[in-house]
Structure 1
């Protein structure tokens, strides 16, 4: 798992298994997965790599191929995370309006037929059965480091379930034990899915190594997902788990990672050298091209009309789609006088501070946080991005610790929390804060300054009680220019209509 993602045709033997009913798969190549691994036990490495790639790529045969029967360009997992976490929230908007994208970017008129909800749901339920199939085969074959391989597969399955817990609140719980089942599986509640994912992660955490190849799961990655699960446990289950979240955040903080001395490198084309990234989703401009990995973020924020030359950001295409709102860049104060390096990562020339019309490209500032250009190395401009997506990184863990300290997690120390926050700020030349400045209002704003466009924002706003209702407004919330209230049931996405039709045991979330 270096910068190249191995596209192993043998994985096609797994087929596309449906979590809804047909849990068995029909091989599409001459050899079954079991036969392939028995012939060459080392083939399992490529198969596992392909499971990792299911979070960043659309399919095995380039950017036009798709593992699922959805649009190859629009449906990849990472693209869905950005659409549903960032464009539904305050900091970022999209102007294209593609058959449902307007409803996401204005947080209005959500319904179960919106294809963007279906995309993420389908991607999760593509990855889950594939890992189940591999885990079944691993029970009958001998491969190198079998416990580690199984642990990695179980983590990827847990990660897919995490996005179902967070976004949809329920679904079907299908594991390797269900292989061969032909009856419709029952609906699993949010708490049932939570308990399953928690148990899986706790079991595999000691089985995984402390270090692994770049882009592969190690023990600290598992701890980071556990910390995320517990941090949001009150939302997911009604019971706060701050103390448990702190245990796993501290394990991450005490691991081998350090803050990158330069914020910009974290989002550049050579960010695989960053000491801060805990778990990346890997991209490569030649061997793993996708319209759904960081290509979507980099190219989507660029325009050859107002930001020439876009090659300075390592790109050959600018799609004129994404812009930040003042709910993000306004948190830095005056961008022209701010000393915060993060405040410089917006393109202001030719663009307006106010987003009077989210469909107008020049309203709002495009984010140039992610770029395909190299930070320490010269990289050619390319059509597709080679910038890895830092799904988990140390600065997030530092800010999580501070939040947990403020929420009263046992063993957390406010002075330590202050130190972590100031390390994050001073890395970007932002002024340090004093103890009296450190409160939950500050933390949610600092998380925006540091982490926006990284797939966390909607979840953060819900945890802080700021997503629904009218207490906190942002541009175009509720489809009004200055923002308006959105209903409480928007804390969950609707279960896609096709999923409801496919399994009569599934029920729709309230309000839809």
Structure 2
């Protein structure tokens, strides 16, 4: 029997009301979905563990679906921009479009509001498990604490994200059983310190190994490392990362494994990202996964798979691409539907729309070694690897001689052969985005497990902690663990700075890491420590939103924001230093009539702020 439990209105509900544009009283009234009460729903270990299943399920939405939220993380970074060029609305002119009252949760705009709403939704689920932890009759204290530790992990994950997206945010530490409209913003570091304490407890009790999608000790220690870094506790960050690296459970995958192991044309980088390889027992690199397999529907809330190829590969089959003879060059038609198709490129590369458009930095200047397997032919796709496959080219009179030949950007006279190079002409990591799709009529990227955390990032987090302590020799050793696995030459201690660490994260973790969150966390550290960055600048907290490393890094690397490139519909790509923090959705502020949610500097409403709380309020 499936038991559905719906807690009363909370801050999450306020966010939902905001994003739906509704404040009607009948909507505010709690609607019971069953006659079950918390007292008889959560009075068994199984009932309480079902709440963790909801945490695990919702965690995966960040990377999947049309306009996946991870894209918003990438476009607020140096790695990518919003590539949609056929309409206004997508987040490109950020100075104009990112405001507290703007549309902040829509696939055609951005997903900032999704992170607010889903963050507190995940906290709600975790708090339910925490609040009722003493109700079941547990077999042992160990069983109880393992469930409590997993709930602490999920809550800490959401707060880690929120505090590095929005800064000071309100806290909810218990299940909300009655409507509340009296929240106040709490200082970021206070929240992170509480998460550190919770994770240190969880680390003692969560099992070292678990079924796919469940919380492992390695995942807890990994998240604790991020929290330790965010707090500037660098020795603690080294210690928590070392417990993962040296714990005997996890190791980098350096040998071929899994479904394509026998294919000599592939390599371990390819193996790492095959859908069914991620949760294999032999994959010792995986620390935390979200699970999504063919047939998953989520009761209609989510379906269709990852859509990775559709989102993050170029719009290669459009009429933007012509042959040197002036004819439409490509098609997304499938061989199974059209026998005239000699080159079925859509099956392998997807019916992509170029929404997540990689920058020149992430596709070219980032790569410093021609032997790097992550950027090698077969794993990495360049536009010139595609061919002119439109079957009309071979039947026209006379036939177009470029049919079946590689795409080219220029003709012999230097004329450009692609009408929209923003959306339709860029390279991409095929090994990561290629997910066979048996569900959609035109392949978009099917169901797949996905990494939340893996050991390669743990090495890079520990390298960063060493960097902050000026132990660059040890930082280089950890960076080189990741580089040499990929076939790249090692770097020296003299080359280590935050830029080389971010570069390696970009090579290894594209479309995995929440890049904006990590850039903001690092920017806070420069402001907190006063350490000189590789650009020769120092920063401070007093003018954090007007002068920060986040903005300087993006302006240095992102060739759209730093040039004001114009899209086909006339919008420019712009960004400002205050985008280091996202706006609190205005509806959440307005609905919180008995308290005050502070707005971030740079956005309308900041003038109404009050000092944030320096302690988490009792509930």
* TM superposition score category, shorter chain reference: 0.7 to 0.9
The answer on 1:131 being equivalent to 2:189 is no
The answer on 1:509 being equivalent to 2:609 is no
Q: Which residue of 2 aligns with 1:480?
A: 564
Between 147-156 and 94-103, report the one with greater CA deviation: 94-103
Residue 219 of structure 1 and its aligned partner are, at CA, apart by 1.9
Q: Which residue of 2 aligns with 1:348?
A: 383
Q: Which residue of 1 aligns with 2:510?
A: 452
Check 1:497–1:324 CA distance in 2 against 1; reply closer, same or farther (3 A cut): same
TM-score (norm 1): 0.80
TM-score (norm 2): 0.67
- Which of the numbers 462, 468, 477 marks the counterpart of 1:401? 462
Between 284-293 and 429-438, report the one with greater CA deviation: 284-293
For residues 226-268 of structure 1, what are the alpha-carbon distances to aligned partners after superposition, in whole Å with 9 as ceiling and x for unaligned? Answer: 11122233xxxxxx32222112111121131111221222322
Between 248-257 and 340-349, report the one with greater CA deviation: 340-349
For residues 468-508 of structure 1, what are the alpha-carbon distances to aligned partners after superposition, in whole Å with 9 as ceiling and x for unaligned? Answer: 14862412216713999843221100001111111141121
Which of these two proteins has the greater Rg computed from alpha carbons? 2
**Alignment partner of 2:382: what SS?**
coil
Residue 352 of structure 1 and its aligned partner are, at CA, apart by 6.0
**Alignment partner of 2:287: what SS?**
strand
8 Å CA contact retained: 1:301, 1:366: yes
Gaps of 5+ in 2: 15-27, 105-110, 255-267, 318-329, 333-343, 385-406, 411-415, 524-547, 567-571, 604-619
Residue 52 of structure 1 and its aligned partner are, at CA, apart by 1.0
The answer on 1:368 being equivalent to 2:375 is no
Between 282-291 and 318-327, report the one with greater CA deviation: 282-291
**Alignment partner of 2:163: what SS?**
helix
The CA distance in 1 between the partners of 2:174 and 2:589, in whole Å, is 23
8 Å CA contact retained: 1:267, 1:369: yes
Residue 357 of structure 1 and its aligned partner are, at CA, apart by 9.2
Q: Which residue of 2 aligns with 1:298?
A: 309
Residue 205 of structure 1 and its aligned partner are, at CA, apart by 1.9
Q: Which residue of 2 aligns with 1:237?
A: none
The CA distance in 2 between the partners of 1:185 and 1:120, in whole Å, is 18
Q: Which residue of 2 aligns with 1:266?
A: 272
Q: Which residue of 1 aligns with 2:550?
A: 467
The answer on 1:28 being equivalent to 2:33 is yes
- Which of the numbers 48, 53, 71 marks the counterpart of 1:49? 53
Check 1:16–1:446 CA distance in 2 against 1; reply closer, same or farther (3 A cut): farther
The CA distance in 2 between the partners of 1:117 and 1:380, in whole Å, is 28
Residue 25 of structure 1 and its aligned partner are, at CA, apart by 5.7
Residue 178 of structure 1 and its aligned partner are, at CA, apart by 5.2
Q: Which residue of 2 aligns with 1:119?
A: 114
The CA distance in 2 between the partners of 1:187 and 1:339, in whole Å, is 49
- Which of the numbers 280, 284, 294 marks the counterpart of 1:275? 284
**Alignment partner of 2:357: what SS?**
strand
After TM superposition, list the pairs within 5 Å mapping 1:106-255 onto structure 2.
Answer: 109-112=97-100, 113-115=102-104, 116-143=111-138, 145-176=143-174, 179-180=177-178, 182=180, 184-233=182-231, 240-255=232-247
8 Å CA contact retained: 2:91, 2:98: yes
- Which of the numbers 482, 489, 513 marks the counterpart of 1:431? 489
The CA distance in 2 between the partners of 1:24 and 1:197, in whole Å, is 32
8 Å CA contact retained: 2:10, 2:179: no
The answer on 1:328 being equivalent to 2:362 is yes
Check 1:473–1:425 CA distance in 2 against 1; reply closer, same or farther (3 A cut): closer
Check 1:244–1:33 CA distance in 2 against 1; reply closer, same or farther (3 A cut): same
8 Å CA contact retained: 1:249, 1:401: yes
The CA distance in 1 between the partners of 2:222 and 2:453, in whole Å, is 7
The CA distance in 1 between the partners of 2:307 and 2:88, in whole Å, is 17
How many residue pairs match? The answer is: 467
8 Å CA contact retained: 1:352, 1:364: no
8 Å CA contact retained: 2:92, 2:573: no
RMSD: 3.5
The CA distance in 1 between the partners of 2:96 and 2:557, in whole Å, is 13
The CA distance in 1 between the partners of 2:167 and 2:13, in whole Å, is 20
Residue 21 of structure 1 and its aligned partner are, at CA, apart by 7.9
8 Å CA contact retained: 1:284, 1:387: yes
The CA distance in 2 between the partners of 1:221 and 1:395, in whole Å, is 13
For residues 286-343 of structure 1, what are the alpha-carbon distances to aligned partners after superposition, in whole Å with 9 as ceiling and x for unaligned? Answer: 1246768971433313457268423236x6x544423322111223558xx9221111
8 Å CA contact retained: 2:287, 2:455: yes
For residues 345-397 of structure 1, what are the alpha-carbon distances to aligned partners after superposition, in whole Å with 9 as ceiling and x for unaligned? Answer: 2332348699x998842232233242454xxxxx7744363322212111111
